[in-house]
A = this chain, B = another copy of it.
Amino acid sequence: MKKVNVAIVGTFGAVGHEMLFLLEKRKFPVGELRPFGSSRTAGKEFLFNGQKYKNIELKCQPGEFKGIDIVLSSPGASVSKQFVPHAIKDGALVIDNTSAFRMNPDVPLVVPEINAEDIFKHKGIVANPNCSAIIMLMAVAPLHRRNRVRRILCATYQAVSGAGMTGIEELERQTREIAGGLTPTKSTFPHQIAFNVFSHNAAIEDNGYNGEENKMIQESRKILHDDSIKIAVTCMRVPVIRAHTEVLYLEFEKPMKPEEAREILSRAPGVDLQDDPKGNHFPMPIEASNRENVLVGRIRKDLSSENGLALMVAGDQLWKGAALNAVQIAEEWLKKA
């Protein structure tokens, strides 16, 4: 099998770490592996496929990606803006997990189960969508294909891993501090996250929605190729480590019975139905963590809408919400490479 030369940008970030793990787990045919990070993580060593590697400082200069086929990138958006033009000139395809290029009309925004064909329209970049958008659409898209979704209302329960390693560390540290009778200290989040929930910390934009919410709205329309879907979302942080949960109310063009939705979702790729009313067992972040598929359940009629359904999803923010989706894009690309 053809070997693929892979660069990672953000090797020691929460997502970069999972990208390496999943490349190994899914036996992606990595030839050369070139791992990049900030000056802070340069020189740090790690094992991949049993071999020792040393992290390289990314300088965002021409030539750093010569000989690389695929870049899996998850630094900050500002870093992606700097290095990606060079990587493209060096001949690599960048699969970028930041928001830097997602809404650029020339850049495909892809969830492989939904719009894999868009990958091949790329001009050097394929963007990996926002984690909450991916997880929501894994449930919405299969239903939308059968019976067009006209309106989505969503409330999220987002894990701290969305803020990277420091988000996870903050929840763990605050929990210890409170258990020890201390006042919890804050550094990553503006508010205490242990034993609390708060409106997502992304800045509030002009329309009153925060950056995370506007990403979910805009990116969902782009991925579904449907600008007419009406969407409102409320993004909230909860003290959960690494899987996002979302409550959804969907309105369809025509009536959709819960049984029909259940049947569609039970066969949808990348989805595990977890819908057990008798056992009161539905999607939960602890069960969605370290799971490749997204959990969907609590499918029932929206009692307030003629053509409406209520349901919930839970998906691993670091995997399907980020690293796994990026690796899957690389796998789709490889099929035709």
Contact = CB atoms under 8 A, between A and B. Distances in A.
A239 interface: yes
Given A153-B153, A179-B175, A208 B284 contact: no
A167 interface: no
A197 B312 CA distance: 12
A195 to B, nearest CB: 6
A65 interface: no
Given A190-B280, A191-B284, A284-B197, A217 B175 contact: no
Contacts of A29: none
A157 interface: yes
Interface string A304-337: 1100101010000000000000000000000000
Contacts of A258: 208
Contacts of A247: 155, 234, 236
Contact of A153 (B201, B239, B249, B281): B249
A60 to B, nearest CB: 30
Looking at A204, A209, A232, the one whose CB has the most chain B CB atoms below 10 A away is A232
Interface stretch (A78-86, A92-100, A294-302): A294-302
Contact of A249 (B191, B192, B232): B232
A219 B152 CA distance: 26
A310 to B, nearest CB: 6
Given A153-B249, A277-B204, A280-B204, A199 B312 contact: yes
Contacts of A209: 300, 303
A196 B304 contact: no
A280 B142 CA distance: 35
Interface in A167-195: 171, 175-176, 179, 190-192, 195
Copies in the complex: 2
Contact of A157 (B157, B210, B241, B303): B157
Nearest to A154: B155
Given A152-B304, A179-B175, A232-B302, A280 B203 contact: yes
B310 A280 contact: no
A149 to B, nearest CB: 11
A87 interface: no
Contacts of A201: 280
A308 B304 CA distance: 14
Nearest to A283: B199
A90 B61 CA distance: 86
Interface in A63-110: none
A285 interface: yes
A127 to B, nearest CB: 23
Contacts of A51: none
Contacts of A2: none
B207 A278 contact: no
Contacts of A153: 153, 249, 302, 304
A176 to B, nearest CB: 6
Given A155-B247, A238-B239, A239-B240, 13 more contacts: A151-B305, A171-B195, A175-B175, A176-B179, A196-B286, A197-B238, A203-B280, A207-B300, A231-B303, A231-B304, A232-B303, A232-B308, A249-B249
